Structure 1
């Protein structure tokens, strides 16, 4: 019998869902997905789906446990950072019923989601990163514009802005809650998709150059074999102790220096490109969950493969209540 995988809060990640469905079918498994909205389009790409309460609802974990038992789920892959803490607290409960939560520890994702604490971690470990500070530290800084503004906590690159002058900076300070202010770096943006085993050993790292981003998610990208990015990805991912999928954000500056910006302990929006480049995530996750030793293949992927996204509508009959 194959391994059944549950992906939570699937939203519009239809391509990722189809990848898991196709690959798991080859090895006798299936993919089940959840969301709290019947209008989440990726629900209808899976083998089956379940609607759940909101992540912060008191019966959310009970609902997930019920789904796991009904569908003989062996591993849960969460996608939405807002649910990591709640799912993480139930890790032992899932283990008791034979379900692995493929998610890094609470210590890891709490560090990664806090952009200022992650900046301090980078500095302490001599990982190059743009200078970053809080509003209350502004008086001590001799800042030069433009500056990059983003929420201290957040998922993806939405709600990020450029302050071109002091007036713009004051506007963002007044209208946004708990921001970090970052040195503005010119250069080329990269994402490195990674996968680590349950012991935190890096198995795969695929850098991709971000060509175009829309609504906070990459829409055009191309894989590149930039050995420096791969080397640093291994050091950062294993240093943090990340397990399962993750992605790192970096910039190669006009002076050819690498500066790391973010670490996200989850699948990135552009991970279908890394799959097409040779990283079979469903198969690898199934093998690691079943205790198989996997030989790392870091840097072994197809270079120069581009992903060009486009919109595809899904038509579904719904009731008036939707």
Structure 2
């Protein structure tokens, strides 16, 4: 009887998996058919919407349809939309002949149409072209200075020695600190900051090949936070390497760590976690919107699963998500239905205009911002800032402080939002952890990691060491660690 039930359960699971695969295949086939129909529509606005929808799916599956369209297309606006689509997907590998041909067409079209530099675009464009070629100057004249050849007189490195937090006249004794998520940008930044301060770092990550495991003094792989053995494995690593403090850098780990706080204390670890409700509010973008709206913090118009009552253009993203995954910018109403089908449990927000910022702050005591850094997100990749610059603005910091107070947060956090051309500040989301671009805030002098460690051990947080110098710009690049 038990074997029959087990066999029935297996068969049912196979049927459900097959049904899910079939449903997904049919859904994407319908979306691709809708794109092909849209590209043949007599209305140029519908054709542009179809091009942008194709861009959301990626060139690997839509390049043949776009190629067929541009061969017969006569409307310059539609062709410009295709160029923008190709430019935004230069990161895709040239895996098919259609992608290569489409990129060559876009490069030739841009070369023959200098008037494209005056065409309105949704964001600062990248040049279309074949992957691996050196890009010519930007299509947009406002960005021309970014691509001009620089000389030695353009580079100012004489202030480099002044970067970073000032010397500490009351340093902590050497501590053994366990850092989680050391495969991510935030985890790597925390490992480096702690080691620079003289502490011994034990780095753990779910990926055994995580670079932070190699950068730390000691490293070990642990299961993911959703694995039932995660907490046991973490305590084992802490015990093995005599860790004294715990610094988490991954939001998804916090609920497990908070629930297991008693076990962590029994293992001799000290830590400073936010409240479980705060973490849940930050993870749930719909709950975050409601909490901020009720607290009077300015947030964009938002709806759950629909765009009703939300003015366009729109951002469609998962209610629970991170790292800009599955985030779609929609400008035409015709694109909304497709975007909603591509996102699990979507929320719809008004896409904000203006400059995007992140605030890296330390809240201590609870609900009070002790200090931090404001930085413009000038370029991003995978949700992480790759080019940024610190700035100072009292109204932005006041809005950030209101956000922290509404959340009831304690510890490190990063708040993201926009500043419009008229100076209005709007908050988009909050993360109860260190950010991926933490190195910029540290370089600007805000010792967020060091003062967080002081808070964990019960020492007073020194607000003067959390002030950031404005005008410090960061350019990110790859680096390597070698192991034999």
Q: Which has the larger radius of gyration?
A: 2
> Once the 2 structures are TM-superposed, how far is the Cα of residue 175 of structure 1 from its aligned partner?
2.0
In the alignment, the residues of structure 1 paired with residue 402 and residue 463 of structure 2 have an alpha-carbon distance, to the nearest angstrom, of 14
> Once the 2 structures are TM-superposed, how far is the Cα of residue 146 of structure 1 from its aligned partner?
1.9
Q: Would you say the 8 A contact 1:33–1:46 is kept in 2?
A: yes
Query: Which deviates further from its counterpart, 108-117 or 149-158?
Result: 149-158
> Once the 2 structures are TM-superposed, how far is the Cα of residue 224 of structure 1 from its aligned partner?
0.4
Q: Does 2:359 align with 1:192?
A: yes
Assess, with a 3 A threshold, how the Cα gap between structure 1 residues 299 and 280 changes in structure 2: closer, same or farther.
closer
Secondary structure, aligned partner of 1:72? coil
Secondary structure, aligned partner of 1:212? strand
Assess, with a 3 A threshold, how the Cα gap between structure 1 residues 127 and 198 changes in structure 2: closer, same or farther.
closer
> Once the 2 structures are TM-superposed, how far is the Cα of residue 108 of structure 1 from its aligned partner?
0.2
Assess, with a 3 A threshold, how the Cα gap between structure 1 residues 3 and 238 changes in structure 2: closer, same or farther.
farther
Query: Which deviates further from its counterpart, 89-98 or 194-203?
Result: 194-203
Match of 1:61 among 231, 238, 248: 231
1:226-246 CA distances to partner (integer Å, 9 max, x unpaired)? 111112222221332212110
Q: Would you say the 8 A contact 2:413–2:433 is kept in 1?
A: yes
Q: Which residue of 1 aligns with 2:430?
A: 263
Query: What are structure 2's unaligned runs of at least 5 residues?
Result: 1-172
In the alignment, the residues of structure 1 paired with residue 195 and residue 301 of structure 2 have an alpha-carbon distance, to the nearest angstrom, of 42
Alignment of structure 1 residues 297-312 onto 2, 5 Å: 297=464, 300-312=467-479
Q: Would you say the 8 A contact 1:34–1:43 is kept in 2?
A: yes
Secondary structure, aligned partner of 1:297? helix
Q: Which residue of 1 aligns with 2:342?
A: 175
Assess, with a 3 A threshold, how the Cα gap between structure 1 residues 302 and 132 changes in structure 2: closer, same or farther.
same
> Once the 2 structures are TM-superposed, how far is the Cα of residue 11 of structure 1 from its aligned partner?
1.0
Q: Would you say the 8 A contact 2:204–2:221 is kept in 1?
A: yes
> Once the 2 structures are TM-superposed, how far is the Cα of residue 142 of structure 1 from its aligned partner?
4.6
Secondary structure, aligned partner of 1:73? coil
Match of 1:152 among 319, 323, 328: 319
> Once the 2 structures are TM-superposed, how far is the Cα of residue 198 of structure 1 from its aligned partner?
5.3
In the alignment, the residues of structure 2 paired with residue 299 and residue 82 of structure 1 have an alpha-carbon distance, to the nearest angstrom, of 26
In the alignment, the residues of structure 2 paired with residue 224 and residue 298 of structure 1 have an alpha-carbon distance, to the nearest angstrom, of 17
Match of 1:201 among 368, 374, 392: 368
In the alignment, the residues of structure 2 paired with residue 181 and residue 283 of structure 1 have an alpha-carbon distance, to the nearest angstrom, of 38
In the alignment, the residues of structure 1 paired with residue 299 and residue 439 of structure 2 have an alpha-carbon distance, to the nearest angstrom, of 27
In the alignment, the residues of structure 1 paired with residue 297 and residue 449 of structure 2 have an alpha-carbon distance, to the nearest angstrom, of 31
In the alignment, the residues of structure 2 paired with residue 156 and residue 276 of structure 1 have an alpha-carbon distance, to the nearest angstrom, of 23
The TM-score with structure 2 as length reference comes to 0.61
Match of 1:6 among 158, 166, 178: 178
Alignment of structure 1 residues 217-256 onto 2, 5 Å: 217-256=384-423
Equivalent pairs, count? 310
In the alignment, the residues of structure 2 paired with residue 2 and residue 95 of structure 1 have an alpha-carbon distance, to the nearest angstrom, of 20
In the alignment, the residues of structure 2 paired with residue 250 and residue 280 of structure 1 have an alpha-carbon distance, to the nearest angstrom, of 22
Q: Does 2:195 align with 1:21?
A: yes
Query: Which deviates further from its counterpart, 124-133 or 273-282?
Result: 273-282
In the alignment, the residues of structure 2 paired with residue 294 and residue 84 of structure 1 have an alpha-carbon distance, to the nearest angstrom, of 22
- The root-mean-square deviation of aligned C-alpha atoms, in Å, is 1.9
Q: Would you say the 8 A contact 2:446–2:465 is kept in 1?
A: no
In the alignment, the residues of structure 2 paired with residue 177 and residue 109 of structure 1 have an alpha-carbon distance, to the nearest angstrom, of 21
> Once the 2 structures are TM-superposed, how far is the Cα of residue 120 of structure 1 from its aligned partner?
0.9
Q: Does 2:258 align with 1:88?
A: yes
Secondary structure, aligned partner of 1:130? coil
Q: Would you say the 8 A contact 2:279–2:432 is kept in 1?
A: yes
Q: Would you say the 8 A contact 1:225–1:299 is kept in 2?
A: no
Q: Would you say the 8 A contact 2:316–2:340 is kept in 1?
A: no
1:189-234 CA distances to partner (integer Å, 9 max, x unpaired)? 0000001235453221211011100121100111101111112222
1:32-55 CA distances to partner (integer Å, 9 max, x unpaired)? 110122221221111110111222
Query: Which deviates further from its counterpart, 223-232 or 164-173?
Result: 164-173
Secondary structure, aligned partner of 1:209? strand
> Once the 2 structures are TM-superposed, how far is the Cα of residue 151 of structure 1 from its aligned partner?
0.9
Query: Hey, which of these two has a bigger chunk of strand by percent?
Result: 1
In the alignment, the residues of structure 1 paired with residue 309 and residue 413 of structure 2 have an alpha-carbon distance, to the nearest angstrom, of 35
Match of 2:444 among 277, 290, 303: 277
Q: Does 2:275 align with 1:105?
A: yes
